Homo-oligomer: A and B are copies of this chain.
Amino acid sequence: MIDAGILPVFGACAPDPMLETLRETVLAANRALDASGLVRLTWGNVSGIDRGRGLVAIKPSGVSYAALRAEDIVIVALADGAVVEGRLRPSSDTPTHLALYRAWPAVGGICHSHSRHATMFAQAGRPLPCFGTTHADHFHGEVPLCRALSAPEVASDYEGNTALAIIEHFREEKLDPVAMPAVLQAHHAPFTWGSTPAAAVANSIALEMCAEMAIGALILHPMLTPLPAYLLDKHHQRKHGPGAYYGQGE
């Protein structure tokens, strides 16, 4: 999968400080995902993008988090997924990451996990309603459920078609990926994203907590309805957008 035509540009002999920084950022985000308790075994991966150079850094496939080093992070081309640097095979979900980056220019990092409670919703085929301000702080409304792929879609380009179904869903439902940085794929699990790899991981953590609290709330009140729109808007704007006053304004 190594594209010889690109290799000379980012030659293996000359270390590239910008790529090293990207690899370190993506390594740290993968370690944060592991430390969060959201992943078991190797069920998760985080990527980050250098938009200026059209390069994506992503976890190698099937490598345990404990053993992961910066040099194991694989650099692939945004355009076609060709491996630009790295001796390992990139995550099998790489085509999904790349297609989302190509469709949504505001995304700087993507996180995929099979975190337990978010995956329960994905497996049950239910979107995640916004039942409280914790949810509203991170996701502007119901976290959507993306349809399962058809048999032909699975047979031809499974991971690429996964992203196409997500992108299609967001376009049809007029969802803004900045205000809604998460999706649940039916039968599968969540994907989240953000302005950076760390933000993508934080959104996965938030999604998992919201899913767990939603299941408990539904046990206590099976007919529960979402919180009022004015509360949803207030909490989301408190943290995001021009008038945000949560945090230190970084």
Contacts and interface: CB of A to CB of B under 8 A. Distances in A.
Interface stretch (A2-10, A15-23, A224-232): A224-232
Interface string A228-244: 10110010001000000
Contacts of A215: 216, 219-220
A123 B188 contact: no
Given A92-B245, A221-B124, A247-B62, A132 B119 contact: yes
B224 A124 contact: yes
A134 interface: yes
A238 B187 contact: no
A221 B41 contact: no
Contacts of A125: 221, 224
Contact of A189 (B92, B116, B134): B134
A149 interface: yes
Interface string A121-157: 1111110000111100100000000001101001100
A234 B158 CA distance: 9
A68 interface: no
A89 interface: yes
A106 interface: no
Contacts of A238: 92, 158
Nearest to A39: B209
Interface of A: 40-43, 60-63, 88-89, 92, 114, 116-117, 119-126, 131-134, 137, 148-149, 151, 154-155, 158, 187-189, 202, 205-206, 209, 212-221, 224, 227-228, 230-231, 234, 238, 245-249
Given A89-B245, A124-B217, 14 more contacts: A42-B247, A43-B134, A89-B247, A92-B245, A114-B133, A114-B213, A116-B216, A124-B220, A126-B220, A131-B187, A148-B231, A215-B216, A215-B220, A218-B220
